[in-house]
Amino acid sequence: MAAKLSSDLRSGALVYHSHPKPGKLEIKATKPLGNQRDLALAYSPGVAAACEAIAADPAEAARLTIRQNLVAVLSNGTAVLGLGDIGPLAAKPVMEGKAVLFKKFAGIDVFDIEVAEHDPQRLINVVAALEPTFGGVNLEDIKAPECFEIEEQLRERMSIPVFHDDQHGTAIIVAAAVTNGLALAGKDIANVKIVASGAGAAALACLNLLVSLGAKRENIWVTDLEGVVYEGRPVLMDRWKAIFAQNTDKRTLADVIPGADIFLGVSAGGVLKPELLAAMAPRPLIMALANPYPEIMPDEAEKARPDAMICTGRSDFPNQVNNVLCFPFIFRGALDVAATTINEEMKLAAAHAIAALAREAPSDMVATSGGGAQPFGPRSLIPNPFDPRLILRIAPAVAKAAMDTGVATRPLADVKAYADSLTRFVFRSGFVMKPLISRARENPMRVIYAEGEDERVLRAVQAIVEDGLAHPILVGRPAVVESRIKRFGLTIRQGVDFDLTNPEDDPRYRDYVAAYLDVAGRKGITPDAARTLVRTNNTVIAAIAVRRGDADAMICGLEGRFQSRLRHIGDIIGLAPGIKEMSALSLVITSKGPFFIADTHVRQDPNAEELADMAIACASHVARFGMEPQMAMLSHSDFGSSDSPSARKMRAALELVRERAPDLVIDGEMAADTALSEMVRDKVYPNARIKGAANVLIMPNLDAANIAFQMTRAVADALPVGPILIGPAQPAHIVTPSVTARGIVNITAIAVVEAQEHARNRLASAAT
Ligand SMILES: NC(=O)C1=CN([C@@H]2O[C@H](COP(=O)(O)OP(=O)(O)OC[C@H]3O[C@@H](n4cnc5c(N)ncnc54)[C@H](OP(=O)(O)O)[C@@H]3O)[C@@H](O)[C@H]2O)C=CC1
Ligand SMILES: CC(=O)C(=O)O
Ligand SMILES: [Mg+2]
Read off the pTM: 0.73
pLDDT at 629 over 70: yes
pLDDT at 614 (0 to 100) = 92
Taking the chain, what is the end-to-end CA distance rounded to the nearest angstrom? Answer: 83
Separation of alpha carbons 433 and 383, rounded Å: 25
Contact in structure between 435 and 625 (CB atoms under 8 Å)? yes
For residue 363, name the pLDDT band (cuts at 50, 70, 90): low
Judge if the beta carbon of residue 313 lies within 6 A of ligand 2. yes
User: Residue 301's CB: how many other CB atoms inside 10 A?
Assistant: 24
Q: What is the mean pLDDT of residues 63-86?
A: 96
pLDDT at 625 over 90: no
pLDDT at 371 over 70: no
pLDDT greater at residue 543 or residue 30: 543
Class of residue 14 by CB neighbours under 10 A (exposed 0-12, middle 13-18, buried 19+): exposed
User: How many angstroms does the Cα of residue 203 sit away from the middle of ligand 3?
Assistant: 12
The residue contributing the CA closest to ligand 2 atom 4 is 81
pLDDT at 202 (0 to 100) = 95
Residue 279 DSSP symbol: G
Atom of ligand 1 minimally distant from the CA of 173: 3
150 three-class SS:
helix
Separation of alpha carbons 575 and 471, rounded Å: 24
Judge if the beta carbon of residue 667 lies within 6 A of ligand 2. no
Rg of the chain over Cα atoms, rounded to whole angstroms, equals 30
pLDDT at 608 over 50: yes
Judge if the beta carbon of residue 321 lies within 6 A of ligand 1. yes
pLDDT at 437 (0 to 100) = 87
Among all bound ligands, the one having the nearest atom to the CA of 140 is 3
Phi and psi of 211, rounded to 5°?
Answer: -65, -40
Angle at 273 (CA atoms; ends 268, 279), nearest 5 degrees: 125
Separation of alpha carbons 388 and 366, rounded Å: 7
Q: What is the mean pLDDT of residues 344-369?
A: 82
Dihedral angle at the C-alpha atoms of 217, 223, 224, 226, nearest 10 degrees? Answer: 120
The residue contributing the CA closest to ligand 1 atom 45 is 81
Among all bound ligands, the one having the nearest atom to the CA of 264 is 1
Separation of alpha carbons 53 and 30, rounded Å: 20
Best residue among 239, 266, 320 to mutate for probing ligand 1, ranked by most atoms within 8 Å of CB: 266
pLDDT digits (tens, 9 = 90+) for 552-587: 999 999 998 999 999 999 999 999 988 888 999 999
pLDDT greater at residue 766 or residue 601: 601
Residue 374 DSSP symbol: P
Judge if the beta carbon of residue 291 lies within 6 A of ligand 2. yes
* Domains of the chain as residue ranges with CATH: 7-30+66-160 (3.40.50.10380), 186-322 (3.40.50.720), 326-426 (no CATH), 432-572 (3.40.50.10950), 583-727 (3.40.50.10750)
User: How many angstroms does the Cα of residue 199 sit away from the middle of ligand 3?
Assistant: 15
pLDDT at 204 (0 to 100) = 97
Q: What is the mean pLDDT of residues 724-745?
A: 93
Beta bridge partners of 287: 264, 311
Q: DSSP letter string over 297-341?
A: -HHHHHHH-TT-EEEES-TTSSSB--GGGTHHHHHHHHHHTTBS-
User: How many angstroms does the Cα of residue 244 sit away from the middle of ligand 2?
Assistant: 22
ipTM over 0.85: yes
Judge if the beta carbon of residue 170 lies within 6 A of ligand 1. yes
Atom of ligand 2 minimally distant from the CA of 80: 6
Separation of alpha carbons 480 and 486, rounded Å: 10
Judge if the beta carbon of residue 95 lies within 6 A of ligand 2. no
pLDDT digits (tens, 9 = 90+) for 409-454: 999 999 988 987 887 776 666 677 878 888 899 999 999 999 999 9
Judge if the beta carbon of residue 166 lies within 6 A of ligand 2. yes
Among all bound ligands, the one having the nearest atom to the CA of 266 is 1
User: How many angstroms does the Cα of residue 322 sit away from the middle of ligand 3?
Assistant: 9
Q: What is the mean pLDDT of residues 304-317?
A: 93
pLDDT at 197 (0 to 100) = 98
Label the pairing between strands 583-590 and 593-598.
antiparallel
Q: What is the mean pLDDT of residues 86-105?
A: 96
Atom of ligand 1 minimally distant from the CA of 167: 47
pLDDT at 458 over 60: yes
Residue 443 DSSP symbol: S
pLDDT at 45 over 70: yes
Dihedral angle at the C-alpha atoms of 525, 530, 532, 536, nearest 10 degrees? Answer: 100
Judge if the beta carbon of residue 123 lies within 6 A of ligand 1. no
User: How many angstroms does the Cα of residue 324 sit away from the middle of ligand 3?
Assistant: 10
pLDDT at 719 (0 to 100) = 84
Judge if the beta carbon of residue 552 lies within 6 A of ligand 2. no
Could you tell me the CA-to-CA distances from 729 to 88, 518, 570, 571, 578 in Å, in that order?
Answer: 65, 16, 9, 11, 10
505 three-class SS:
coil
Label the pairing between strands 719-726 and 194-197.
unpaired
Separation of alpha carbons 178 and 180, rounded Å: 5
Nearest Cα neighbor of 727 from 601, 548, 636, 590 is: 601
Judge if the beta carbon of residue 225 lies within 6 A of ligand 1. yes
Contact in structure between 241 and 204 (CB atoms under 8 Å)? yes
User: Residue 307's CB: how many other CB atoms inside 10 A?
Assistant: 12
Q: What is the mean pLDDT of residues 339-350?
A: 96
pLDDT digits (tens, 9 = 90+) for 529-544: 888 888 889 999 999 9
Q: What is the mean pLDDT of residues 101-114?
A: 95
User: How many angstroms does the Cα of residue 275 sit away from the middle of ligand 1?
Assistant: 22
Separation of alpha carbons 692 and 695, rounded Å: 9
User: How many angstroms does the Cα of residue 358 sit away from the middle of ligand 2?
Assistant: 21
Q: What is the mean pLDDT of residues 229-235?
A: 96
Atom of ligand 1 minimally distant from the CA of 202: 13
Residue 507 DSSP symbol: T
Contact in structure between 601 and 569 (CB atoms under 8 Å)? no
pLDDT greater at residue 675 or residue 1: 675
* Length of the chain measured in residues: 768
pLDDT greater at residue 152 or residue 523: 152
User: How many angstroms does the Cα of residue 765 sit away from the middle of ligand 3?
Assistant: 65
Contact in structure between 170 and 202 (CB atoms under 8 Å)? yes
pLDDT at 430 (0 to 100) = 67
Separation of alpha carbons 193 and 583, rounded Å: 66
Phi and psi of 536, rounded to 5°?
Answer: -115, -20
The residue contributing the CA closest to ligand 1 atom 3 is 322
Per-range mean pLDDT, top range of 328-342, 513-527, 656-670: 328-342
Per-range mean pLDDT, top range of 328-342, 522-536, 608-622: 328-342
Among all bound ligands, the one having the nearest atom to the CA of 168 is 1
Computed over every residue of the chain, the mean pLDDT equals 92
Could you tell me the CA-to-CA distances from 48 to 44, 45, 54, 325, 701 in Å, in that order?
Answer: 7, 6, 10, 40, 51
Choice among 28, 31, 92, 98 that is catalytic: 98
pLDDT at 370 (0 to 100) = 45
Q: What is the 3-state secondary structure (H, E, C) of 664-718?
A: CCEEEEECHHHHHCHHHHHHHCCCCCCCCCCCEEECCCHHHHHHHHHHHHHHCCC
Among all bound ligands, the one having the nearest atom to the CA of 323 is 1
Q: Catalytic annotation on 92?
A: no
Separation of alpha carbons 684 and 250, rounded Å: 85
Judge if the beta carbon of residue 271 lies within 6 A of ligand 1. yes
Element (H, E) at 474: strand 470-475
Dihedral angle at the C-alpha atoms of 603, 604, 608, 613, nearest 10 degrees? Answer: 0
For residue 1, name the pLDDT band (cuts at 50, 70, 90): very low
Label the pairing between strands 719-726 and 583-590.
antiparallel
Of 143-152, 405-414, 480-489, 544-553, the least confident: 480-489
Separation of alpha carbons 297 and 166, rounded Å: 21
Pairs from 492-498 (Cβ < 8 Å, separation ≥ 24): 492/361, 492/458, 492/461, 492/462, 492/465, 497/461, 497/465, 497/472, 498/461, 498/465, 498/471, 498/472, 498/473, 498/474
Separation of alpha carbons 334 and 356, rounded Å: 20
pLDDT digits (tens, 9 = 90+) for 650-690: 999 999 999 999 999 999 899 999 999 888 898 888 888 88
pLDDT at 2 over 70: no
Contact in structure between 288 and 319 (CB atoms under 8 Å)? no
- Helix%, strand%, coil% for the chain, nearest 5: 50, 15, 40
For residue 551, name the pLDDT band (cuts at 50, 70, 90): very high
Q: What is the mean pLDDT of residues 280-294?
A: 96
Judge if the beta carbon of residue 322 lies within 6 A of ligand 2. yes
Which residue type, as a one-letter code, is found at position 262? Answer: I
Separation of alpha carbons 180 and 174, rounded Å: 10
Beta bridge partners of 113: 74
Which residue type, as a one-letter code, is found at position 290? Answer: A
